Every structure is written in structure tokens, then in C-alpha cells.
Amino acid sequence: MASRSEPENPSPNIYIPPEWSEAADCIAYDSVTSPPPIAIVCGAKNCGKSTFSRYLLNILLQRYKKVGYLDTDVGQPEFSPPGFLSLTVVDEVTPDLTIPHLKTPERCLFFGDVSSKRNPTTYLNYIFALYDYYQKEYCLFDKSASPAKVGLPLVVNTPGWVKGVGYDILVDMLKYMAPTHVVKINISAESKNLPCGAFWLDEDHDGMLNLIEINSARQDSFNRSVLVQKDARLLRDVRIMAYFRQCFSSNLNISTIKELAHALASHPPYEVPISSIKIRHLHCQVPGSEIFYSLNATIVGLAVSSEGSKDLPWCAGLGIVRGIDTFKGLVYVITPVPRGTLEKVNLLLQGFVQIPTGLLQVQGCISPYMSANVLSAS
Amino acid sequence: MEVLLGVKEESTDYVQLGISSSSSSSYSYKLVPWLSWDEWLFVDESLFSNSPNSVASALRRISAWRSRGCLPVVIEVTSSIIEIQQKDPYFRKDQSNDALDNCRGDQSSDASLSDEMLAMLYCMAIMRLVNGVVEKTRKKTEVSIAVAADAIGISRTLIDIRHEGSHRELPALEVVRSASVKALDWLKYYYWEPQKKAIPFHSNETAGIKTEIRLKFHELAFCLRIKNTPHLCSSKVKEKLGSKKDLTKILKSLVGLYSAFSSEVVSVLLEFLLKGINSSDSSELPVNTQSSPNLHISLNEWKLVITKFSNKEPELLLALLNAVLDIIENQEAVIYETGWVRTSSDHRAETLQVEHLSSLFKWLVENFEGLKPHVEKDSVAEIKVSSGEKTILKAILMELLRKCLVLSASANNQLMDSAIHLAQLTGDNYLLGKLNKLSSLVSSNLDVTEEDDSLKHSNNVFKKQDESMSEAAKKLEMIKRRKIKKKVVKKTDADAENTNRWVLAKSWNQCPIGMLPRAVGSSGCLPVLDLNTVPEKVSQLLGRKENWELNQCSGKREASSDLHLLDNQCVKKLRETKDGCVSDSEHVSSIEDFSGHLMIDGVWKRVGEEELLAIKSALRILI
């Protein structure tokens, strides 16, 4: 890896080509501040969408005090653990662009899977709900009441699924949001790219639009894009573990997966009366008699059914249902969500965000769901 | 590089840490949707049964598994095919499909699926079978699906149906229907049967497990014998059996057995102990028997085994204590019931047995006492000492203490002593003082008993014993009341802040995720996940049969089932209480946290704490 490591560069492994900084500057400074820019970043897998979004966020923060960040990449979100769609208001520059950092989102919804393919309609509805919230809270001001108030710019990061249904979803998203800027990152493998031009618009469209097409950051000597292949599953597990690391004070010496798994196994959980909460699976029909078989030892979204609309309850974070005592009528939940926020949580949303197996294997304390003697054929 | 969790994102670091999050490289363990092999066996048995109700319950469980996201494709396809067959009039014959319709609630009574639709369903299931299974096993060299399928013995018919169904005309219903039978046979041959064989031991074969446990205990005993008597055996034998490695291995497998079959382990161990007691009774065998390869293991050797084992699994001692008390209780009952008619020698033997058991109990208590600092030292090394462990432990000790006291009322000095030791363990000085007084009271009674022994069971003795019993009960109630008062005060403080549903567990002992904590140790016990065991229903169920049953549905937290934690099979325990005296098996502190309901003449009535106490103590004296 040819890294241009300058001493003052806080993230030496990240290379921002001139083309990228021009694009970011263009979004941040070319427009008038009102209405604020709404920029959607899209492109194929591993082309650098997230890195560009992070970079753009930092550039925007030089001009604006706060910037909104709408994350639609449900598999690898920027500020939240996997499975979430979220709107985060960022007010400080991220010094390190290499790694996503967990932040408490302004609003988030638990989609409960790492790809939109399980339920594209719901996925889109979630995104629209978050976008509507952004519009309502940060853009539509009563001009006469607070003329000085400036709208919040928005960066939208998208998933790298740009073919088939993924493409349709992206088009719907772009149409709904009508962004001021669209950043399209192209890679050298043409067939994997999005179509040229403003692919999402009908022909007779004539609105204000800036389409910025840039190339992925790195090319080899043959001008082929160098894509950073990521082990998506591993990354997800790391994100989830980093999320639950927050259950413990940062002073505690927990730095390996083993230590975290051990700490979680002995961490006193919240005990919640089963009668006081609802349990819902987002993607599966679970027979009434089987809910606890389905729920035990899974990761759930902690939602507030009274907030947000009926089908789209705002979410407070993730929890691990670490045990269920049907005799005492209690579920035991581990979560880093603070007590104050938790009080409103009355709905556990199940999905397909799988608990990292590393957390289930504590020496001498192995979860029953990690089984030996399983036929390899299965 | 930024560090997340202190673990760098590079996979090389994972390798260095020896951890990998991909399940494939965590060689022997695999994420499964079932809690135990028992659950798997239940599904295996029900799925292929003739009863539509059983099949329906298996299909329900499989949907729960599917919702967990790690369902093996072979199970998924099996359940699909069976569910389709249940929709097919050909397989359904005349049997009612109500059960199935009921369970898959919202699916309308689609008894009249057209043949095309049925064929489509079968075809899809078969395609998923072939593709799903073959994809997993197909080697790079096997270009064609047919070759790959042949390698794992999938019938050619199924391969052809996959091909026809995807690329040509939809195969006829008759074809896919008979293919579905073939597919199921293949799935049984390929997955269900071999998997069943690969399960270490089935818990419905209790006998088999007990044999296994016996064997391991014997191994451990011999291992220890060889270790402790080095002069006895040649070094060769020692190498063969007594090495430290072997010892650790045996202990490890025993701990494993205990976590899965705790009650069986306890009962086997008790069996050995009783045998040991009886034989040491008849002929006082020296500990180091020179007649070497005999199978006899003396009581002392068993004690050593227990010490070793309980160092690894401290909870064993509590479970044993509980079990020994149960036996003494039974013995005493026998003595009282039959004491009148039996000869004195019989009677004497039984009393002797009780005496031995009591001394065993005493020994166990002392052992536990000796173990305790060790346990604490251990947990300090862990990340956090859970204060909760102590709370649960205390609750269990109190329960043991109570039982112990009730039994010691019949002038059992050793149990009285043990009770005092137990009280010391709880660390409650006030309680200890009271007990000491009580003990002197009882021993004064004892003098009387011995004097009057020749008069057999004179009314006087009974009266005295009754008195001392009720005395003990009264004192205990007093102590309890004091404790309750203390707790109530504390509770109101706490109530101010946590009136809500999210309450941090006050006591928590380390246990695997997906399990519930045990009192001591970190092995955890398997939860009961059936919906119909939710408290309201349980108490309703019991309420019908019981006149006296505390209603547990008040919803507040209570600590009554701490003793359940000792028993792996919580259900069993609960069922047992049906015919036993329920309120007696309730825990000391069960009445603390909620003012319960009582079923009186078939009506649930709210009763105050005081009333409950009164009823409870009355019940106890009746016994």
C-alpha cells in the first residue's frame, strides 16, 4: 500500500485524491447556505462511499456548525451497529477516517437485517421516515420566526447494492429526497457501475441538480480501481462487539473479544417483566407458543412503540436477550443504552442481526447455542 | 491505526488472538438455533411422527429456529416438504387437518390448493434441497450438479426435477409428490439419522448417563487413590492412570456432565456415599485397603472425590447438602410412621442411618465453609465480583438452614451444629446468636430425651419435641420477620427511583448467554422457554389442584425460586410441588416482595403478609 504518510496527516492510510477534495469543496462552498446542500453518495461495493462521506462530513463541518448524516447502509452503518437506519447530527470533525465511530444518533430505526433485500418496501419507508424527520426538524423553518437560522446540510450514504432490486431502491431513494448534489463514485469495472448521467430522473426533469462523477481513490498502474475488499461479516461482528463494549467503563481493561465475552457473561443485565413489553419479529412469522425459543440469546432492537408512527417505532439501541426466566416472568437484557432512555422502551424487535459467535464462547461458560457434535453436512 | 475495542480490524490480529468470528474456524463449535440436543430430538421425533399434532408442534418449533437465522438448510427443506405434504390431500387422507391449520393460524383453510400449485410447492422445495445441499458440498472439480449430487447420494429423480422445474415444463404433481417421499428418505439418511447418532448422549436415556457418570466417578476415585498412595502401585500404573493430566481430564468431563445433568450427578454421588456409609457401618474398612484391585471405594475416598470435584464446581456441595437433607427428612418420616410397629433393631438401624447422614451433612457443610474463601478469591480474579452471587447464595443458605432447623428439632445434635455453621456462612451475627440460644435449648431437651429413651416414645418426649419444634419455628419466623422489615425499608427507598420496567438485576452470577445463572459457579442452567410456563398460567394450573398456593402473578420480582436454580429441571421441580406441600417448598423470602393471593375455596383472595406468615407457620407445625 503506497501511503502518503505526512506527519500531520491523522489517518495516514487514507488517500484523498484531488478529484475527491474538489468534489467535496464544490458541495460545501459552491452553493448558497439556504437551502443547505443535500448530498447523496452512491456507487458500487467497496468503491469508497463511506470514506468519501466521512471526508465530506469533515469538509462541511468547516463551514457549518452541524451536519446531518443519513445512513442508509444497513449492513455497515457509520455511527450505529449493523441493522440500523439512522439520522445523526454531527458537530465535530472526525480526525480519523479509517474507521467508523459509534455515535448516538438523533433518530434511528431498526431494520433488523444487514441487507435491504429481505424487505425493500419497509426499508424504503424507514428511510423516508428518517428523511421526513430531517426535513421537518432541520429544514422547514418558519422564516419569519427565526430568519437567522440556517438549515442543516445533509450527507446521505447509500449501500453498495446497485444492481437489480438494489438499483430500484436507490432510484426510489433519489427521487424521494431530490438532493442538491449526487456524488457518483465509479470504478474501472464499467459493468459494475451505475448508469451514466442522472439515471434516476425521468427525461422531462429540469430541476436544479449537481451530478458529480468521481473515480475511486486508488488505481493500479493499469488504471484499474484498487478496491479494498472487506470481510463484511467480520466487520459487522466487530461493530456489534464495539457497541456492547460500551456497557463497560472505558477504564476497564477489556480489549480482546475474549475479555469482552467474559465481561458480558458476568454483567448484571436489566430484568424486564415479560408482561410489560411487546416482542415482535420484523421478518418472520413466529408462532405464539414459540416466542421465547425464538427470542432467547438473540440481538434485539430496543424500540419505543409510542414514538414514531405505528409501524416505524423509533429505536433506542441494541440489546442482547441474555436469558429468559419464564417462571419469574422476566427477560434479561444487556444493553449500553442509558437508563433514562431505556425507561420508554417497551418493544423488543427481533431481526436477523446475528450475535457474534465470539461472544457466545467464553471459556468454561459456552452458550448452549454453540453446539459441539453438529454434523458438518448441515 | 485506530483501535476498536482494542482489537484491530486486521484479520491477522484475530489470528494472533486465537479468536475468529467465523464459525468455521472455531472448529468444534457451531452456532445452532436449538437450546439443547433434547430440543433437537423432540423435533426429530415429532416431525416424522404419525400424529398431526406432533408434526404441527415440530413445524412450529422449526419456525422459531428459522427466526433465529442459523437454521441448517437440511432442516429447512425437511420442514418445507412435510408442511407441503400436510397440505396435500393425498397424504392427508381423511385425517383432520385442524391441528395444522390451528398452528399456522393465518393461513386460510386452503384445503383446495390446485394440483399445479401443489406441484409448484413440491418442486420449489426439491429445487431448494438440491441446490442448497449440493452448493455446500460441491467441490471445485465437480463441474456438474449431477456429479456433485451423486457424490452425496441424492437420487437422480430429484436432480431431474430441479432441472425440469427450472428450465422446462413444471413436472406433474404425481412425479413431484413421489419425489418428495424420496427426498425425505434421503434427508433422513443424510442428516437426521447420522446427526442423531452423533449426539453424545440422549437425556431420555437416563440410565446411560448415570452409567457414564458412575464410570467417571470411579475413574476419579481410582485416580486419586493412586495419586495418594504412591507406594502402592508401580510407577507404570501411576503413569497410566494417575497423571495430573488424566485427573484434569476426568474432572473436566465431570463438570461437563454436571452442567447438563446436575440432578443425575448428585443422585449418583449420593448413591455412592450411602453405599460408603453402609459398608463402613458393617465392617470398618481401613482407608488404604491392601487388597488392591477391589472395586470398593471407602467413604473417605468418596469424600476426597467430592472435595476435588467441588473445587471445580462449588455448587455441587449446595446441591448435595440439599439432597442429604431430603433423605434425612424421608428417613425421619419413616421412623415416625413405622416406629410404633417395628422392632427396635430396625428402628435403631434407621436412626443410625440418620446419624450417619447427619454427620455427612456436617462434613459437607464444613467442606463448603472451607471452600468459600477459595471461591471468593477466584471470583476476584474475574472481571467483577458480583455482589449478586452472594445474595443468591445467602438465600439458598437460608433455605438450607431452615430445613436443617426443622429436622434438627427432633434432637439431632449434628444437624444443629451444622445449622450454626450455615448461619455463620450467611454472616448474619444476630441470627447466629439466636441459633446458639436455640441450640442450648434443644440440647437441654435432648437430655430429657435420653433419660426417657427406655420408655420409648412417651408422651412427654413428644410434647417436648413438639414444643422445641414450634419454638424453633417461632424463632425462625421472628428472624424472618425482622429480615422482612429490613427489606421493606430498603425496598421503599429503591421504589422511589425504579418504578419502571427496566431494572438492573440486583444479583447476577456469571453464566453462559442464553442460560440462567446458578447460585454458585458459572455453569448456568437451561431456561424453560415454553410459553405455558409463564407464571400466571403456572399458578392457575397449580391452583386448581392445590388449596394453598401462592399466586405468583402479582408481577413483582420475587426470589422464591432460588432453589430451583439448584435443579436443572425447573419444570420437574415445579411439578413436584404440586403434590408436596407447596408453601413449605416456597422459599423463606418468597413472601417478602409481594403480598400474594391465596386460592381459598376456589377463589383468589388477596392476603396480607401477616396472614400469610400465620398460615405458613401453622402449616409447618402441622407437619
Strands B30-31 and B603-606: unpaired
Nearest residue on chain B to A239, judged by CA atoms?
B4
Counted across chains A and B, CB pairs separated by less than 8 A come out at: 286
In chain A, residues with a C-beta closer than 8 Å to the C-beta of B524 are 365
Window 41-70 of B: residues touching A by CB (8 A cutoff) are: 60-61, 63-70
**How far apart (Å, rounded) are the C-alpha atoms in residues A67 and A64?**
7
A2 pLDDT above the threshold of 70: no
B32 to A371: CB separation less than 8 angstroms, yes or no: yes
Window 391-450 of B: residues touching A by CB (8 A cutoff) are: none
CA-derived radius of gyration, chain B = 31
Q: Which three cell numbers stand for residue A155?
A: 450527507
Residue labelled with grid coordinates 457418570: B213
B67 to A274: CB separation less than 8 angstroms, yes or no: no
B32 to A286: CB separation less than 8 angstroms, yes or no: no
**How far apart (Å, rounded) are the C-alpha atoms in residues B418 and B413?**
9
B561 to A99: CB separation less than 8 angstroms, yes or no: no
Nearest residue on chain B to A233, judged by CA atoms?
B22
A336, A246 in Cβ contact below 8 A?
yes
Nearest residue on chain B to A241, judged by CA atoms?
B5
Cα dihedral across residues A328, A329, A335, A341: positive or negative: negative
% of chain A beyond a pLDDT of 90: 20
- pLDDT, residue B280, reads 62
In chain A, residues with a C-beta closer than 8 Å to the C-beta of B511 are 265, 323, 365
In chain A, residues with a C-beta closer than 8 Å to the C-beta of B523 are 364-365
Name the residue among A265, A359, A370 with its Cβ closest to that of B510.
A265
Suggest the residue from B67, B104, B193 to mutate for an interface test with chain A (most A CBs closer than 10 A): B67
Q: Which three cell numbers stand for residue A291?
A: 416466542
Nearest residue on chain A to B152, judged by CA atoms?
A377
In chain B, residues with a C-beta closer than 8 Å to the C-beta of A342 are 502
Average pLDDT on A188-196 reads 79
Nearest residue on chain A to B256, judged by CA atoms?
A364
Low-confidence ranges of chain B (pLDDT < 70): 1-27, 93-111, 139-142, 201-207, 229-244, 260, 280-296, 335-347, 371-395, 408-412, 441-466, 480-499, 519-523, 532-623
Average pLDDT on A238-247 reads 89
Window 69-88 of B: residues touching A by CB (8 A cutoff) are: 69-70, 72-75
- pLDDT, residue A210, reads 80
- pLDDT, residue A320, reads 94
A263 to B535: CB separation less than 8 angstroms, yes or no: no
B383 to A370: CB separation less than 8 angstroms, yes or no: no
Average pLDDT on A205-226 reads 71
A306 pLDDT above the threshold of 90: no
**How far apart (Å, rounded) are the C-alpha atoms in residues B577 and B572?**
9
Going by the DSSP 8-state scheme, the letter that residue B553 receives in this structure is T
Residue labelled with grid coordinates 444437624: B415
- pLDDT, residue B561, reads 42
In chain A, residues with a C-beta closer than 8 Å to the C-beta of B530 are 289, 292, 326
In chain A, residues with a C-beta closer than 8 Å to the C-beta of B60 are 287, 289-290
Nearest residue on chain B to A352, judged by CA atoms?
B69
B80, B128 in Cβ contact below 8 A?
yes
Q: Which residue has the higher pLDDT, A249 or B622?
A: A249
The answer to whether B537 faces chain A, any CB pair under 8 Å, is no
Name the residue among B505, B529, B530 with its Cβ closest to that of A269.
B505
Cα dihedral across residues A306, A309, A313, A315: positive or negative: negative
The answer to whether B522 faces chain A, any CB pair under 8 Å, is yes
First to last CA, chain A: 40
Confidence bin at A229 (pLDDT 50/70/90): low
- What is the number of other CB atoms lying within 10 angstroms of the CB of residue B371? 17
Suggest the residue from B24, B502, B551, B586 to mutate for an interface test with chain A (most A CBs closer than 10 A): B502
Confidence bin at A207 (pLDDT 50/70/90): low
Going by the DSSP 8-state scheme, the letter that residue A93 receives in this structure is -
In a 13 Å sphere around the CA of B501, the CA atoms on its Cβ side amount to 21
Name the residue among A269, A274, A354 with its Cβ closest to that of B69.
A354
In chain A, residues with a C-beta closer than 8 Å to the C-beta of B7 are 238, 241, 255-257
Name the residue among A263, A264, A364 with its Cβ closest to that of B522.
A364
Q: Which three cell numbers stand for residue B383?
A: 472481571
> Considering only CA atoms, which of B41, B381, B386, B394 is closest in space to residue B192?
B41
- pLDDT, residue B385, reads 40
Q: What is the pTM of this model?
A: 0.67
Q: Where are the domains of chain B?
A: 1-30, 35-198, 207-427, 531-622
Name the residue among B35, B512, B516 with its Cβ closest to that of A265.
B512
In chain A, residues with a C-beta closer than 8 Å to the C-beta of B73 are 378
- pLDDT, residue A258, reads 85
Query: Coil, strand or helix: which one is A298?
Result: coil
**Which residues make beta-bridge pairs with A68?**
A89, A154
**How far apart (Å, rounded) are the C-alpha atoms in residues A198 and A219?**
25
Q: How does DSSP assign A166-197, residue by residue? A: HHHHHHHHHHHH--SEEEEEE-S-GGGSPPSS
A73, A50 in Cβ contact below 8 A?
yes
**How far apart (Å, rounded) are the C-alpha atoms in residues B478 and B620?**
14
In chain B, residues with a C-beta closer than 8 Å to the C-beta of A290 are 60-61, 63-64, 531
Name the residue among B200, B382, B561 with its Cβ closest to that of A373.
B200
Summarised one tens digit per residue, pLDDT across range A72-121 is 998 888 888 899 999 998 888 877 766 667 888 888 899 999 988 889 99
In chain A, residues with a C-beta closer than 8 Å to the C-beta of B501 are 272-273, 276-277, 343, 346
Q: Where are the domains of chain A?
A: 18-215, 259-366
Confidence bin at A17 (pLDDT 50/70/90): confident
Average pLDDT on A140-144 reads 59
Q: Which three cell numbers stand for residue B530?
A: 415454553
Classify domain A259-366 by CATH number: 2.40.30.330
Name the residue among B64, B105, B137 with its Cβ closest to that of A290.
B64
Residue labelled with grid coordinates 437450546: B35
Name the residue among B22, B67, B501 with its Cβ closest to that of A277.
B501
- pLDDT, residue B142, reads 65
A233 to B22: CB separation less than 8 angstroms, yes or no: yes
The answer to whether B104 faces chain A, any CB pair under 8 Å, is yes
Question: How close does chain B come to A360, measured CA to CA in Å?
Answer: 6
A242 to B9: CB separation less than 8 angstroms, yes or no: no
State which fold the A18-215 domain adopts.
Rossmann fold (3.40.50)
- pLDDT, residue B3, reads 43
Question: How close does chain A come to B564, measured CA to CA in Å?
Answer: 10
In chain B, residues with a C-beta closer than 8 Å to the C-beta of A367 are 512-515
Phi-psi region of B172 (alpha: psi -120 to 50; beta: other; left: phi over 0): beta
A294, B64 in Cβ contact below 8 A?
yes
Confidence bin at A33 (pLDDT 50/70/90): low
Suggest the residue from B193, B513, B529 to mutate for an interface test with chain A (most A CBs closer than 10 A): B513
The answer to whether B191 faces chain A, any CB pair under 8 Å, is yes
- pLDDT, residue A7, reads 39
Going by the DSSP 8-state scheme, the letter that residue A331 receives in this structure is E
- Beta-carbon contacts of B582 under 8 Å, excluding residues fewer than 6 positions away, are B542, B546, B548, B549, B550
Q: Which three cell numbers stand for residue B220?
A: 476419579
Residue labelled with grid coordinates 468519501: A52
- pLDDT, residue A32, reads 65
In chain A, residues with a C-beta closer than 8 Å to the C-beta of B5 are 238, 241-242, 245, 254-255, 257, 260
The answer to whether B530 faces chain A, any CB pair under 8 Å, is yes
Q: Which three cell numbers stand for residue A32?
A: 448558497
Nearest residue on chain A to B388, judged by CA atoms?
A268
Q: Is the peptide bond before A18 cis (omega within 30 degrees of 0)?
A: no
A323 to B527: CB separation less than 8 angstroms, yes or no: yes
